[in-house]
Amino acid sequence: MSAPAPGTRRLVVAGALLDDLARPRLLLAARRHRPAALAGRWELPGGKAEPGERPVQALRRELREELGVEVEVGAELPAADPEGWPLSPALVMRVWWARVSAGWPEPLEDHDELRWLGEGGWEGVDWLAGDLPVVRGLLAALPGP
Rounded to the nearest whole angstrom, what is the least distance from the CB of residue 27 to ligand CDP in the complex? 12
Smaller CB distance to ligand CDP: residue 26 or 38?
Answer: 38
Q: How far is the CB of 85 from ligand CDP (least distance, A)?
A: 9
**Which residues contribute to the site for ligand CDP (CB under 6 A)?**
12, 14, 38, 43-44, 46-48, 87, 91, 93, 110, 128, 130-131
Q: Residue 26 or 143: which CB sits closer to ligand CDP?
A: 26
Burial 1-15 (b: 16+ CB within 10 A, else e): eeebeeeebebbbbb
HSE-up of residue 19 (Cα within 13 Å, Cβ side): 10
Q: Which is nearer to ligand CDP, 23 or 106 (CB)?
A: 106
Residue (of 18, 8, 35) closest to 109 by Cα position: 35
Question: Closest approach of Cβ 40 to ligand CDP, in Å?
Answer: 12
Least distance CB 49 / ligand CDP (angstroms): 8
Q: DSSP letter string over 61-121?
A: HHHHHHH--EEEEEEE---SSTT-EEEETTEEEEEEEEEEEES-----SSEEEEEEE-TT-
Residue 24 vs residues 118, 124, 134: alpha-carbon distances, Å: 9, 17, 16
Instruction: Indicate the residue among 10 and 25 with the shorter CB distance to ligand CDP.
Output: 10
- In angstroms, give the least distance from the CB of 53 to ligand CDP: 11
Q: Taking CB positions, which residue lies at the least distance from ligand CDP?
A: 47
Quick one: 56 or 145, whose CB is closer to ligand CDP? 56
Q: Do 73 and 104 touch, CB atoms closer than 8 A?
A: no
